Amino acid sequence: MTHTPAFSVCVYCGSRSGGLPAYADVARQVGTWIGQHDGQLVYGGGNNGLMGIVAQATADAGGRVVGIIPTALQNKENTRTACTELHVVDTMHERKHMMAERADVFLALPGGIGTFEELFEVWTWRQLGYHDKPIGLLNTEGYYDGLLSFAQNSVDAGFLSDWQMDLIRSGAEPIALLRELVEAAGFTPASKLNQL
User: In this structure, are residues 102 and 64 in contact, taking their beta carbons and an 8 Å threshold?
Assistant: no
| DSSP E strands, the chain | 7-12, 39-43, 64-70, 85-89, 105-108, 135-138, 168-171
Section 172-185 average pLDDT:
96
Residue pLDDT, tens place only, 78-137: 899 999 999 999 999 999 999 999 999 999 999 999 999 999 999 999 999 999 999 999
What's the pLDDT score for residue 4?
85
Rounded distance, CA 149 to CA 95, Å?
29
What's the pLDDT score for residue 192?
55
What's the pLDDT score for residue 130?
95
Section 143-172 average pLDDT:
97
pLDDT band per the 50, 70, 90 thresholds, residue 194: very low
65: CB partners within 8 A, 6+ apart: 40, 41, 43, 55, 58, 59, 80, 82, 83, 84, 85
Q: At residue 193, does pLDDT exceed 70?
A: no
Domains detected in the chain: 1-10+27-90 (3.40.50.450), 109-185 (3.40.50.450)
Residue pLDDT, tens place only, 24-60: 999 999 999 999 999 999 999 999 999 999 999 999 9
* DSSP state string for 102-152: H-SEEEE-S--HHHHHHHHHHHHHHHHTS----EEEE-GGGTTHHHHHHHH
> Percent of the chain having pLDDT more than 70?
95
